Amino acid sequence: MNSVQATKRPLRKAVLPVAGFGTRVLPATKSIPKEMLPVFDRPAIQYVVDEALAAGIEHIVFVTGRNKGAIEDYFDHAYELELTLAQKNKNALVDELKSILRPAGSMSFVRQQAALGLGHAVWCARDIIGDEPFAVMLPDMLMMAQPSCLAQMVEAYNKVGGNIIAVEPTDTPELYGVIAPVSRDGRLIKMKGMVEKPKREDAPSNLFISGRYILQPEIFDLLASQGPGAGNEIQLTDSMVRLMEAQSFHALEYDGVTYDCGDKIGYLRANAAYALASADYGEKAAATLQKLLDEKN
């Protein structure tokens, strides 16, 4: 396998795996894609797409599954709704809906026909990504950051190339996959490995892998030959470890906070955090939450 990190080819594409069942937040996701659950005032998936666009991503590949049609519909015109709003002179709402739309051909949807793991989902996007570096963005992990998490990663990628993983400190490394660092330059960390849910005393670091990756296209050949790993699924991290033998990997301790919307309490935290951060509703949200806490006590 040839190393290509020195070329630092531009990052133009991102893969969003959205085929999962959302079992950790059932029954809410029985008939609604978890990615379409609202986080304060918009679906969770909108925040991830906005993050990608803020980083300069030009083409987004959604890897979908059955019963995920609502995602594709969300990023399309809603002609009847737009017409009704226009007839009622609710033009600001019409403009807001149209702002969601992307240029024709800048989004692709491919089907993962069986739940064979994150690695398999990423592999399903291989023909659209082609021979280019690309981002992987897990849509149930919302990153509140300014600049966006992926924008910070792109800045780091433009300096060092190769493969980059976003990480964040945690007090409970035994609950996550964490990195094994080699050296550190500010927030950028050269790494030599990853450990999934280590014992706390054996953890090589307290930096957990938080759901954003920039990968080189050589990962696809490794995924094609990757056997099942944890959970009897094709794991992206297993192929990343193999790619690490040939290419450089860095972790970026990005400046921001991660909210895991695939967990019920994490989803609650995300709703509160994004409500509080709203320029229009932040003060009212804070007062409302405080009143609820006072009533509880």
pLDDT at 141: 92
Are 239 and 222 in contact by the 8 Å Cβ rule? The answer is yes
Q: How many CB atoms lie within 10 A of CB 272?
A: 17
13, pLDDT greater than 90: yes
pLDDT tens per residue across span 218-237: 999 999 888 777 667 788 88
For residues 264-280, average pLDDT: 93
Return the number of other C-beta atoms located less than 10 Å from residue 84's C-beta.
13
What local confidence, expressed as pLDDT, does residue 200 receive?
A: 84
Alpha helix stretches (DSSP H) within 167-278: 219-224, 236-243, 264-277
Q: Mind listing the pLDDT tens digit for each residue in 14-61?
A: 999 988 777 777 787 788 888 888 999 899 999 999 999 999 999 999
136 sits in which H/E element: strand 134-137
* Domains recognised in the chain with CATH numbers: 9-296 (3.90.550.10)
Using left for φ > 0, alpha for ψ between -120 and 50, and beta otherwise, residue 248 falls in: beta
Q: Which tens digits make up the pLDDT trace of 98-157? A: 888 888 889 999 998 887 888 999 999 999 999 999 999 999 999 999 999 999 999 999
User: Pseudo-torsion of CA 251, 140, 175, 289, nearest 10°?
Assistant: 110
